């Protein structure tokens, strides 16, 4: 079963961090908040501990994890525990972005973190910008844990968690040594996962967008970012289908959303939904997440913020809220084309790709 420990307040934070650190040192699982989402952590240098993450999530063991390291005044030293080298590009990005929502793919130091890296010669490293995460990482280092491998604390492919209660709902079935300790640090500030930049080839390649725009990351890197060319290392959260609710998510343009809602309104029946591209009706509710008002019979609606940052902050929580037991489909309006929305758009496209084939 899940144990939730509050990390609010200075005394509670210290106690929670020490408890979590001792749990990690023993090879057990600890979920903790970062500025992006909650992570499901285990010590990155222990193959058996890392295997617990894969088992709990139902995640393929060749799908890499991200290793979180403490800032501690010297993030380069922390990174070099797992990295074979830190080239000038990596050092520029660390100086500009750590601690922060950026994961860097670097050559892996031989003999360290192979399981966390999914067996690759590269490894993803991140230094989170969250008081609870940093307290845990610093406390863990005192117990001999140099880094914590931590994907999002949800079952594989599903909606990421941004609250401790989300984590509890995912892993409450685990018991004994596999039980999860959750450090409750409140709602995550950013709300979508970190950007991922591959730095193994001497130039930066954006594998996954996040909070910062491509232009901002290019400024931090000191050179333009390239797009993946099919030879990039495997990286966490970059599968075509990911972040999916239970209900079938459809990503619709503004015009298609309005047309589909108008068609639905004309049915004058309490049935759900007229799904674009799929024939047939189901006697269940429809959920809608859009920037324009949507009102109709047997509909659950939430308005999408006009701000990309606010939309990112609430995205996963809203998808979880809309994904009720009587909701068969979630219609989401396409985000604006503005690059500031790239991170939100990426998560929604992957969530829509996880829907059953038509």
Residue 283 is predicted with a pLDDT of 44
The arrangement of secondary structure in 248-353, i.e. its CATH architecture, is 3-Layer(aba) Sandwich (3.40)
Q: What is the pTM of this model?
A: 0.92
User: Which residues in the chain are classed under CATH 3.90.870.10?
Assistant: 3-221
Looking at the domain that runs over 3-221, which CATH code has it been given?
A: 3.90.870.10
Task: State the Cα angle at 351 between 349 and 352, rounded to 5°.
Answer: 65
Cα 175 to Cα 4, 48, 330, 347: the distances in Å are 14, 17, 33, 31
Q: Which residues contact 185 (CB under 8 A, 6 or more apart)?
A: 7, 8, 32, 33, 130, 131, 132, 133, 164
Residue 269 is predicted with a pLDDT of 52
User: Which residues in the chain are classed under CATH 3.40.50?
Assistant: 248-353
Torsion angle of the four alpha carbons 81, 50, 23, 38, in this order, in degrees rounded to the nearest 10:
90
- Phi/psi for 343 (5° steps) reads -65, -45
150 and 40 Cβ atoms separated by less than 8 Å: yes
Rounded Cα–Cα distance for residues 151 and 160 (Å)? 10
Residue 272 is predicted with a pLDDT of 46
Distance, first Cα to last Cα, the chain? 37
Residue 347 is predicted with a pLDDT of 96
Q: Which residues of the chain have pLDDT under 70?
A: 268-283, 293-296, 355-358
Residue 322 is predicted with a pLDDT of 96
Which residue, among 316, 334, 67, 348, has the nearest Cα to 209 in the 3D structure? Answer: 348
């Amino acid at each position: 079963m899940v144990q939730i420990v509050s990390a609010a307040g200075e005394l509670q934070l210290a106690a929670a961090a020490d408890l979590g650190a001792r749990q990690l040192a023993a090879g057990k699982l600890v979920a903790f908040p970062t500025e992006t989402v909650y992570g499901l952590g285990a010590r990155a240098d222990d193959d058996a501990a890392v295997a617990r993450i894969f088992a709990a999530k139902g995640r393929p063991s060749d799908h890499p994890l991200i290793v979180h390291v403490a800032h501690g005044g010297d993030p380069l030293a922390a990174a070099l525990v797992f990295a074979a080298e830190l080239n000038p590009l990596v050092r520029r990005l660390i100086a500009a972005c750590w601690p922060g929502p950026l994961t860097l793919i670097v050559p892996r130091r031989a003999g360290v973190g192979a399981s966390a890296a999914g067996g690759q010669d590269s490894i993803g490293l991140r230094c989170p910008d969250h008081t609870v995460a940093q307290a845990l990482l610093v406390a863990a280092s005192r117990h001999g844990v140099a880094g914590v491998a931590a994907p999002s604390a949800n079952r594989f492919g599903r909606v990421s968690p941004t609250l401790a209660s989300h984590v509890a709902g995912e892993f409450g079935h685990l018991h004994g040594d596999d039980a999860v300790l959750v450090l409750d640090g409140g709602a995550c500030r950013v709300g979508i996962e970190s950007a991922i930049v591959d730095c193994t080839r001497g130039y930066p390649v954006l594998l996954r967008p996040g909070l910062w725009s491509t232009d901002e990351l290019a400024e931090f890197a000191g050179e333009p970012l390239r797009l993946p060319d099919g030879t990039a290392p495997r990286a966490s959260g970059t599968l075509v289908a990911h972040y999916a609710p239970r209900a079938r998510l459809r990503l619709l343009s503004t015009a298609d959303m309005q047309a589909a809602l108008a068609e639905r309104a004309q049915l004058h029946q309490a049935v759900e939904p007229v799904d674009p591209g799929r024939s047939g009706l189901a006697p269940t509710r429809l959920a809608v997440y859009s920037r324009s008002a949507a009102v109709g019979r047997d509909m659950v609606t939430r308005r999408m913020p006009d701000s990309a940052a606010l939309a990112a902050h609430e995205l996963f929580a809203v998808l979880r809220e809309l994904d009720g037991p009587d909701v068969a489909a979630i219609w989401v309006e396409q985000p604006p084309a503005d690059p500031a929305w790239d991170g939100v758009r990426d998560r929604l496209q992957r969530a829509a790709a996880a829907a059953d084939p038509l």
